[in-house]
Each structure stands twice: as C-alpha cells, then as structure tokens.
C-alpha cells in the first residue's frame, strides 16, 4: 500500500514538473501500479484454475507459491509505472505555427 501511495505522489510530482495535469497523472500512475498487480494476480490464478480443471495437479498451487506471485506482481507494477514515467518524461509537443510568407512586392519599373 505504501508503494501505491508513493506511485501517486511521484506521478503528481513528475506531471507538475513537466507542465501536465498533476491530479490526472497522479491517478493514472497510482491506478497503473495497483492495476498491474491485480491483473497479474488474476491471470496467474486463472491459469492455475484452468490447469486444475483440465486435470493437472495444481491443487493449492496458488497458495504454495504466494511469494513468487507477489514478487511477479510487484515487478509487473514497477514495469508498468516505469512506462508511464517514461511517457511523462517526454516533452509536450507544441503545435508548430508557421507564419505565412510576406506578400509579394511589385515594382513599377515597367
């Protein structure tokens, strides 16, 4: 939980420093960190249940490997958060406004 709070705080700080909406990016960073953990845990649990249903002997696999699943989820969370931070590090692209050319000058020498 403390790591998720730090993700919210770092997202706010980094977005404010780069001129973006800090509240929106804070929420994006925090929920990315939490969401990656939930998705990885769900996918590993779902995979274990599929193997159990199809006849594999994965009874209690999820609970026996809880530490491995937790570390895998944390690594996925840090990777996802790192990708969001890489996006925030890119400068905001300003639209390029080109001035029209000056009007032609005609000489009256003819």
Residue range 39-63, pLDDT digits in tens: 998 998 888 888 778 877 666 777 7
For the record, the structure tokens of 106 come out as 């005609």
Residue 101 inside a domain? The answer is: no
Say how many domains are in the chain.
1
Check: CB of residue 11 under 8 Å from CB of residue 29.
Answer: yes
Residue 16 inside a domain? The answer is: yes
Residue 94 inside a domain? The answer is: no
| Angstrom distances, CA of residue 34 to CA of 23, 31, 40, 70, 107 | 17, 5, 10, 12, 71
Residue 23 inside a domain? The answer is: yes
* pLDDT confidence of residue 86: 93
Check: CB of residue 25 under 8 Å from CB of residue 11.
Answer: yes
**Angle made by CA atoms 19, 22, 27, in degrees to the nearest 5:** 145
Read off the pLDDT of residues 80-107 as tens digits, 9 standing for 90 and up: 999 999 998 888 877 777 888 788 888 7
Residue 11 domain boundaries: 2-89
Q: Distance between CA 44 and CA 39 in Å, rounded? A: 9
């Amino acid at each position: 939980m403390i790591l998720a709070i730090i993700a919210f705080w770092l997202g706010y700080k980094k977005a404010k420093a780069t001129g973006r909406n800090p509240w929106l990016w804070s929420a994006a960073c925090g929920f990315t960190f939490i969401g990656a953990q939930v998705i990885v845990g769900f996918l590993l649990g779902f995979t274990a249940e599929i193997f159990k249903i199809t006849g594999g002997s994965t009874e209690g696999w999820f609970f026996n490997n809880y530490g491995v699943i937790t570390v895998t989820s944390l690594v996925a969370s840090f990777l996802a958060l790192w990708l969001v931070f890489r996006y925030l590090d890119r400068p905001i692209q300003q639209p390029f406004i080109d001035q029209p050319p000056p009007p032609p000058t005609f000489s009256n020498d003819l």
